[in-house]
Amino acid sequence: MPTFDICFSPELLPLFDLKDKVAVVVDVLRATSSIVTALAAGVTHLVPFSGLAECRAMAAQGYLTAAERDGQQADGVDLGNSPFGYLDGAVAVQGRAVALTTTNGTRALHLSAAADEIVVGAFLNLGAVAAHLRQLNKDVVVVCAGWKGHFCLEDTLFGGALAARLQADFDTTASDATLAALDLWAAAAPDLGGYLLRSAHVRRLNHLEAHQDMAFCIRQDEYDLVPVFKDGRITD
Ligand SMILES: O=C(O)[C@H](CS(=O)(=O)O)OP(=O)(O)O
């Protein structure tokens, strides 16, 4: 049986050997939820950047630019980090490519480069990711983007939810991280929204008046797509 492990923060990635494994990068609030939503809304592909300047420069190549720092949309770009940016019609996204940089999510994607395949996970595409992993039948590491290197509840809960769906097909008992995430998921699942109200990121989003984002990002199985980060691009 393939193994299922969880890396609670990108800072812990040096302890993991991603070679020959599938990395599922997750940043529920909000980068990977926005990536999944962008592709569902008709974006052709996304290119994640670490730096703002490189991201902004992609406008010259016809890209829409999406950039966020500390939760706020950066100056001089088309979109921020809210999934609603791809849904509300203020910017026409259908058929466009997007250059993206965020505080935590794009960093986690780049730091997972050693993996055999890098999958973008969110509650929004939880079932599609689970089905894809079952099909690949390889060892999995969920890479939680966390917040500026710190552990965060929402990404860990995604790891627990994914482990719960894969318990019959993967060894989810070998790592304490997975066992802890499964327990956390069991505690939170009956009222995920209520549970997450206590989390630091939800408090940050509420402070930024991005109240609807959490409610949207915790919807499960909203989209049946599996974004993969390969050769610098994220495509479905
Ligand atoms: O925009 C977000 O949700 C975060 C930034 S912060 O944690 O709110 O400062 O970025 P992400 O890369 O999606 O974690």
- Domains of the chain with bracketed CATH: 4-235 (3.90.1560.10)
Select from 25, 33, 147 the residue to mutate for testing ligand 1; criterion: most ligand atoms less than 8 Å from CB. Answer: 147
Shortest-distance atom of ligand 1 to CA 204: 8
* 168 CA → ligand 1 middle, Å: 33
Ligand 1 center from residue 17 Cα (angstroms): 26
Write the residue with the smallest CA distance to atom 2 of ligand 1.
71
Ligand 1 pocket mutation, candidates 35, 36, 49, 68, criterion most atoms within 8 A of CB? 68
The mean pLDDT value for 178-201 works out to 96
The predicted complex's ipTM stands at 0.92
pLDDT in tens, 14-41: 999 999 999 999 999 999 999 999 999 9
Q: What is the 3-state secondary structure (H, E, C) of the chain?
A: CCEEEEECCHHHHHHCCCCCCEEEEECCCCHHHHHHHHHHCCCCCEEECCCHHHHHHHHHHCCEEEEEECCEECCCCCECCCHHHHCCCCCCCCCCCEEEECCCHHHHHHHCCCCCEEEEECHHHHHHHHHHHHHHCCCEEEEECCECCECCHHHHHHHHHHHHHHCCCCECCCCHHHHHHHHHHHHHHHHHHHHHCCCHHHHHHHHCCCHHHHHHHCCCCCCCCCCEEECCEEEC
Q: Whose CA is nearest to atom 10 of ligand 1?
A: 103
Ligand 1 centroid to 209 CA: how many Å?
13
Predicted confidence at residue 205, as pLDDT, reads 87
For ligand 1, the distance from its centroid to the CA atom of residue 103, given in whole angstroms, is: 5
How much is the mean pLDDT over the chain? Answer: 97
**For residue 2, how far is its CA from the centre of ligand 1 (angstroms)?**
32
Q: What separation in Å is there between the alpha carbon of 201 and the centre of ligand 1?
A: 8
- Residue 106 is which amino acid? T
With bands split at pLDDT 50, 70 and 90, how would you rate the model's confidence at 206?
Answer: confident
Which residue has a Cα nearest atom 1 of ligand 1? 71
Backbone CA torsion sign across 158, 33, 17, 130: positive
Structure-block tokens of residue 45 = 């592909």
**Residue 231 has what pLDDT?**
97
